[in-house]
A = this chain, B = another copy of it.
Amino acid sequence: MTTQPRWQTKITEASAEGVRIRGYELSDLSRNVDFAEVFYLLTVGELPSPAAGRALNALMISACDRGITPSSAITRTVASCGSPLQAAVAAGILTFGDVQGGVGIEMGNGLLRAMAGLEGPVTVDAPQAREAAESFVEHYVQRGERIPGYGQPLHPEGDPRARRLIEYAFELGVDGNALAVGLAAEAVIAERKGRPIPMNVDGAIACVAIDIGMPPDIIRAINFVARAAGLSAHALEELETAKGFRLLATDDEVSYQGAPARAVTRSA
């Protein structure tokens, strides 16, 4: 009787000859493609086209660091507490939950739902793009939810990082229906809300990721794999400059609102 092997994978084969990722030998990959393309290969299963590879490289660079954010503040604090580098970065990665890093997955799934009825490629001006965009927006308006991927408190007129990324995607020719519908949705949202709420950089990352063939579940990974690079830098910088552990809250920033002082009225 054949028992199923305990571990089965289609990703990587390690043997005496070396390591092959989806069939490609490491040295062959090292000499001919770059890390973003290998990330695509690992997750999607095939190497991307050169243009899609440049696009993913751009997505990762757009996501790799944003200064002092919840994730980097946490990483720096854990490092300041004397936990090693891998623990500091792991703690920062744990912030990529449904609220922060998960926006892209929600938008990706929303776009795929809306795009399902499209019969072929559409441009942003096409009526079918407008229709799909309305369907996309309506889904969230009906539920009273924020439309994922739009709006940026710092940039009410438009997130410059988003504009530049979208521009580059069009230049590379990797734009597809996700970008078409996602951008068409800007007009729909402006009409609904009475003011423009342009696509932000996380929305742009989601659209481009879908258009280069990366399923929505991978979008969160694009964000935190790239961010692991920035977090490592923040942890190392904190260790060079550390003066004891960081207090994230000083006494004057904390307000206790609970039960007043009282005594336990029974014994163990």
Contact = CB atoms under 8 A, between A and B. Distances in A.
Interface string A147-158: 000000011000
A57 interface: yes
Contacts of A257: 8-10
Interface residues of A, number: 123
A260 interface: yes
A66 B244 contact: no
A129 to B, nearest CB: 25
Interface stretch (A34-42, A113-121, A175-183, A186-194): A34-42
Interface in A15-39: 16-36, 38-39
Contact of A93 (B38, B86, B233, B246): B86
A245 interface: yes
A68 B26 contact: no
A50 interface: yes
Contact of A102 (B20, B65, B82): B82
A65 B39 CA distance: 10
A12 B57 CA distance: 19
B74 A164 contact: no
A13 B67 contact: yes
Contacts of A73: 7, 77, 248-249
A22 to B, nearest CB: 5
Nearest to A259: B23
16 contacts: A5-B255, A10-B237, A12-B67, A21-B64, A22-B259, A25-B261, A29-B61, A30-B168, A31-B168, A35-B64, A74-B77, A78-B95, A99-B245, A217-B239, A221-B232, A248-B248
Interface of A: 5-14, 16-36, 38-39, 42-43, 45, 47, 50, 54, 57-58, 60-62, 64-70, 73-74, 76-78, 80-91, 93-102, 154-155, 160-161, 164-165, 168, 217-218, 220-221, 224-226, 228-230, 232-234, 236-237, 239, 241, 244-249, 253-264, 266-268
